[in-house]
Amino acid sequence: MTTASPFLDLSGAVDSVDRDAGVAAHYGNPVVEQRELEAGRAIVDLSNRAVLSITGPDRLTWLNSITSQNLLGLSAGESSETLLLDASGRLEHAVRLIEDGETLWLLVEHDEADALLAWLQSMRFMLRVELADRTADLATIGSLGSPALPIAAPNGVPLVWNDPWREVAPGGHQYAIGEHPGSGWTWSETLIPRDALASVVARVRSGEFGVAGLLAVEALRIAAWRPRFATEVDEKTIPHELDWLRTAVHLTKGCYRGQETVAKVHNLGHPPRRLVMLHLDGSEGVLPPRGSIVKVDAAGERKEVGLVTSSALHHELGPIALAVVKRSTDPDATLLVEAGDVTVAAAQVVVVPPGAGAEAHVPRLPRLGAVTRPTR
């Protein structure tokens, strides 16, 4: 475990909670921080995130064979992301990737690192790969601009992960219809030497950089419909439900664990749940936390249809949230979110449509023995 971040010593810094603990949630005014972050004038401390590395000549072909993205053509300086699925196609890990020509760098949530590293070690077999946890050496800084940071470049290539969410990656597929808010999402994560964190904080104090907390990032991420493993994923999640085929799944690459489910749902079936963005009624002044129950009023009876996964106060949109709901939920229905003793009305914006999937358009065959009756 790394030491406490020096960013928490900045004026107004308030530590995050739960799995985000160790970096600031905000520095006094999350809404102002959002504006500064969106304008490219602020950086975000993500130094509690983990960094793993894979070296060896087989690193790309090996990881390509066991995860969802096509990594064979990844060149030095390129970014990507990939998913590790179980045999049933459910998400187990989401990994952000930077290739520098000699090493493949894996950026993950800190509480994923040990389990991911152990699983990868178990899958090495006789391949020429070496794995290491580099979290003690490297820290992550997020931004929506290009700050002049002391970027780590151990092999001569700056280690900057550029989020591919802005467009559909080659081999991917988008279920969302129409203009996508992710097209303006210019998020990047820069790796710096961990011992340089204190000097970056000094530059923040001097006014060279602005600083924003995680609440600011979350609000902008939700508005971009960008899924995060730590929030949107549960034990049942498959990539289709979050529209994660956009950037993390290559639909025509070779076989990998969970690939059969990915192909079957995309070509023949429908994901059982779907991601929506919610515009929340702000009159009660309540922001529903993750796990809040989402219901719909059906014939006077309130039925549970899903759960809130993330929520935030956006500087332009007001209170918003991401939620995962049953596929059959009426896209035009006003939803009701239970936040403690308060019920908050929510208008849904469809991210994954109810008809997502079945892309092969295979006609349904009549049941054997069924009688076809003549029409009149």
Q: Is 99 helix (H, G, I), strand (E, B) or coil?
A: strand
CB atoms within 10 A of CB 270: 18
What does the pLDDT read at residue 369?
55
| pLDDT confidence of residue 88 | 96
Least confident of 30-39, 40-49, 283-292: 283-292
Query: What integer pLDDT is reported at residue 4 of this predicted model?
Result: 82
Q: Tell me, what's the pLDDT at 365?
A: 54
> What pTM does this model have?
0.94
Identify the CA nearest to 282 among candidates 320, 333, 323, 325. Answer: 320
DSSP 135: T
Q: Would the pLDDT of 376 be above 50?
A: no
Q: What percent of the chain has pLDDT over 90?
A: 89
What is residue 223's three-state secondary structure? helix
**Residue 303 pLDDT greater than 80, yes or no:** yes
pLDDT the model gives residue 209? 92
- Tens digits of per-residue pLDDT, 311-367? 999 999 999 999 999 999 999 999 999 998 999 999 999 999 999 999 977 665 555
- Residue 170 predicted with pLDDT over 50: yes
Mean pLDDT to the nearest integer, 275-303? 93
pLDDT in tens, 113-160: 999 999 999 999 888 999 999 999 999 999 999 899 999 999 999 999
Categorize the per-residue pLDDT at 1 as very low, low, confident or very high, splitting at 50, 70 and 90: very low
> Considering only CA atoms, which of 239, 278, 260 is closest in space to residue 81?
239
Total residues found in the chain within this entry: 376
Which two three-digit tokens encode residue 127? 């391949």
- Residues 6+ away with beta carbon under 8 Å from 27: 10, 11, 12, 13, 14, 33, 211, 212, 213
Alpha helix segments (H runs only) across the chain: 30-38, 59-66, 113-122, 197-205, 214-223, 229-232, 259-267
What is the rounded average pLDDT for all residues in the chain?
A: 94
Q: How large a percentage of the chain has pLDDT more than 70? A: 95
pLDDT at 230: 96
Instruction: Please tell me the distance from the alpha carbon of residue 125 to that of residue 4, in angstroms, as a whole number.
Output: 37
Mean pLDDT confidence for 95-124 = 96
Residue 6: per-residue pLDDT: 97
Give the amino acid at 118: A
